[in-house]
Structure 1
Amino acid sequence: MITVDFTLFPVGPGNRVLDLGCGGGRHAFEAYRRGADVVAFDQNENDLASVSAMFAAMRAEGEAPASATAETVRGDALAMPFEDGSFDRVIAAEIMEHIPHDTAAMAELHRVLTPGGIAVVTVPSWLPERVCWALSEEYHTNEGGHIRIYTRAELEAKLKATGFRIGPHHHAHALHSPYWWLKCAVGTDNDTHPLVRAYHNLLVWDMMKAPRVTRLAERALNPLIGKSVVVYLRKPRRGGDTG
């Protein structure tokens, strides 16, 4: 499930891309398919092992250009083991809401991005997330869970204060919001509840088949209940210069 719109975040051969907090690697895989040199970065050793195995499988099947590279690196988002300006592109998808010192993580993101480079940050949208918090305390108090709810204005203000120039934004995954509301209502670990299972099957069908009716419905609903808000950024080359 890709959250980033790669028409707004162009990636290809010659780009060095960092997927910060890569998790299962969905965006790292897409960047690799597009021919970029990818570093998937996370604290979770198990996630990184799975991502590394998928990179190897993609190489073996020829799913990425032979010139592209892909690797995993384990570390802390607040102290990344990379030189200043190491990456042309940085993706930070659904990670800032987990980090107590989010502004420090944003400063690290800014540091490792080359001047003139672009970044994209995604977080849960305010309204769908607020409903989840209201329905379930477990949703946001479990270890590693979400510790804050961003408004887009707050997220953009923090990123701007870090030094980024703010670009376009959009919302994504509206059809996933009701799924999480159901999960929060019946118990976040209750994957066997009939309503949860039925809606999960609907989402899988939608992802596999991408029928026109659900794609149009999600596009219409995204501005209202999109599960994620996506903000595109640029690091100025000099001071306030955006060139």
Structure 2
Amino acid sequence: MLTVDFGRLPVGPGLRVLDLGCGGGRHAYEVLRRGADVVAFDQDAAELRSVSIMFAAMDKAGEVPAGATAETVTGDALAMPFPDASFDRVIAAEVLEHIPDDMAAMREIHRVLRPGGTAAITVPSFIPERICWALSEAYHTAPGGHVRIYTLAELTAKLKATGLEIGPHHHAHGLHSPYWWIKCAVGVNDDEHPLAKAYHRLLVWDIMKRPAATRIAEAVLNPLIGKSVVIYVRKPA
């Protein structure tokens, strides 16, 4: 399930891409499939071991274009172990809402991005996230959880303050917001609740089959209740 639109953030052979806070690696895998050199970066070493195993499996299955490379690096988003201007593209998907000093992380994104390079920044959308916080304290107070709710204006202003040029934005995952509202209402850790299980099956079916009906429904819902907002930014040349 991709949040970033690679039509707006083109990647391909000859480009070096950082997936900052890569988590399970969903965007890193897509970058590699498109032939770019990808660095999957996260502070969770155990998660990165799984990502590394998947990279190897993709290569063995012939899913990696010739010449494309992939590596995993463990570290801190506030002090990344990369030289200035190291990457042509940066992806930071659902990361900044976890970091108390988000401006420091944004400055690091600016630092490692080459002049003229572009980045995609995604965070939870204000209204869906605000509903989750209202329904469940456990949703946002768990260790490593969300520490803030961004408005689009705040996120844009902070990114602009680091020297990045603000480009287009869009919302994603409109079908997923109701799932999280259900989870927050019935118990965010109660995966066995019948309503939560039923909606989860719907989401899995949608991801696997991608029928036209749900694609149209999500396109309609995204601007209204899209779970994530994505902003594309550029470092001035």
TM over 0.5: yes
Q: Which residue in the other structure is 2:51 paired with?
A: 51
Q: Write out per-residue CA displacement over residues 133-163 of structure 1, whole angstroms, 9 at most, x where no aligned residue.
A: 0000000000000000000110000000000
Shift of 1:40: 0.1
| 2:227 aligned with 1:236 | no
Q: What residue in structure 1 maps to residue 172 of structure 2? A: 172
| CA positional deviation for 1:66 | 2.0
Task: Kindly indicate whether residue 208 of structure 2 is the aligned counterpart of residue 208 of structure 1.
Answer: yes
Equivalences for 1:1-243 in 2 at 5 Å?
1-237=1-237
Instruction: Output the TM-score relative to the length of structure 1.
Output: 0.97
Deviation at 1:46, TM superposition (A): 1.2
Deviation track 1:26-55 (CA, whole Å, cap 9, x = no partner) reads 000000000000000000011100000000
SS in 1 for 2:230: strand
Question: What residue identity is the alignment partner of 1:59?
Answer: D
Q: Distance in 1 between matches of 2:37 and 2:96?
A: 24
Question: Where in structure 1 do 4 or more consecutive aligned residues deviate above 6 Å?
Answer: none
TM-score by length of 2: 1.00
Determine the C-alpha separation between the residues in 2 that align with 1:171 and 1:160.
19
2:6 maps to a residue whose letter is F
Superposed CA offset, 1:42-101 (max 9, x none): 000111000000000001111011200000000000000000000000000000000000
Distance 1:134 1:46 in 2: 32
Unaligned runs of 5+ in 2: none
CA–CA distance in structure 2, aligned partners of residues 112 and 234 of structure 1:
12
Q: Which AA in structure 1 matches 2:13?
A: P
Give the residue type in structure 2 aligned to 1:231.
Answer: I
Q: Percent same amino acid among aligned pairs?
A: 74
Displacement of 1:5 in angstroms is 0.4
Give aligned pairs, total. Answer: 237
The CA distance in 1 between the partners of 2:62 and 2:92, in whole Å, is 26
Paired position in structure 2 for 1:240: none
Q: Look up the SS of the partner of 1:190 in the other structure.
A: coil
Please give the alpha-carbon distance, in whole angstroms, between the structure 2 residues aligned to 1:111 and 1:9.
Answer: 19
Q: Which amino acid aligns with 2:61?
A: E
Unaligned runs of 5+ in 1: 238-243
3-state SS of 1:230 partner: strand
Shift of 1:24: 0.2
The separation in 1 between residues aligned to 2:43 and 2:149, in whole angstroms, is: 22
Output the CA distance in 2 between the equivalents of 1:236 and 1:123: 23
**Code of the aligned partner of 1:63:** E
SS in 2 for 1:90: strand
SS of equivalent residue, structure 1 residue 92:
strand
2:8 alignment partner, SS class? coil
